[in-house]
Amino acid sequence: MRMSELSAESGVPIATIKYYLREGLLHPGEQTSATRAEYDATHLRRLRLIRALLEVGRLPVSAIKKVVEAVEDESLPVHTMLGTAHYALSPRVEPEATPEWDAALAEVDAFLASLGWKVEPEAPARHELAHTVMRMRQLGHTPELAPYAAAAGRLVEEVEIDTIPYDGPRDAAVEALVLGTVLYGRAFDALRRLAHESTSARRLSGSS
């Protein structure tokens, strides 16, 4: 298909497609003449991925480039490729040089080890969880993470991981990860708040 057809099919303006080509986010089409190139389904998949990373993941172009590089590097295992996207989507929490931070991080590491979860030391979610644990303890709360970990592990193991087409096109696998992580993450948080409201109404609406 020509660029105009690629634009119509993807919903991405021609000027934006040209920008993605210049930035190396989109691989070149097959050159058929000095001024014309042909594009195919791989370009549509890449544009879908870029839109997911940009519009759903809210990632800057620099972060999208790293994810695209991982997608294009066939020597990277699928786990590493998906991890690159996961890390890009995660909030960044800087470690603190305080005894409270060290204690919280050690608590998180011990908890993860007790679950048997394989997590890299540089995982952003590890620091995010440590920061949450530290704040909870500073506010006088004792973190009760086990029920949440059990629910999260069951959800990922029984539902989420099977929605990722990891044996198909690499672009599609990362796109599924982005949509699942971000959109279903928002849906889960909204459902939990709705459950709070419903349970409160059922249990407490008659109390004074």
If we measure between CA atoms, which residue out of 82, 150, 83 comes closest to residue 116? Answer: 150
Collect the ranges in the chain with pLDDT lower than 50: none
Provide the pLDDT for residue 146.
96
Provide the pLDDT for residue 208.
54
Whether 59 and 144 map to the same domain: the answer is no
- Classify the C-alpha dihedral 193-196-202-206 as positive or negative: negative
The secondary element (H helix, E strand) that includes residue 40 is none
Provide the pLDDT for residue 176.
92
How far is 61 from 56, CA to CA, in rounded Å? Answer: 13
Whether 114 and 38 map to the same domain: the answer is no
Whether 59 and 28 map to the same domain: the answer is yes
Tell me how long the chain is.
Answer: 208
Whether 113 and 185 map to the same domain: the answer is yes
The total domain count for the chain is 2
Provide the pLDDT for residue 31.
85
Whether 38 and 112 map to the same domain: the answer is no
CATH number, domain containing residue 54: 1.10.1660.10
Provide the pLDDT for residue 207.
61
Provide the pLDDT for residue 154.
94
196: in domain:
no
Provide the pLDDT for residue 33.
82
| Residue 115: both structure tokens together | 């679950």
End-to-end, the C-alpha distance of the chain in Å comes to: 68
Residue numbers of the domain that contains 8: 3-76
Whether 96 and 175 map to the same domain: the answer is yes
199: in domain:
no
Provide the pLDDT for residue 77.
94
**pLDDT tens readout for residues 153-177:** 999 999 988 889 988 899 999 999 9
Whether 64 and 96 map to the same domain: the answer is no
Whether 61 and 153 map to the same domain: the answer is no
Provide the pLDDT for residue 180.
87
> Quick check: 1 and 9 in contact, CB under 8 A?
yes
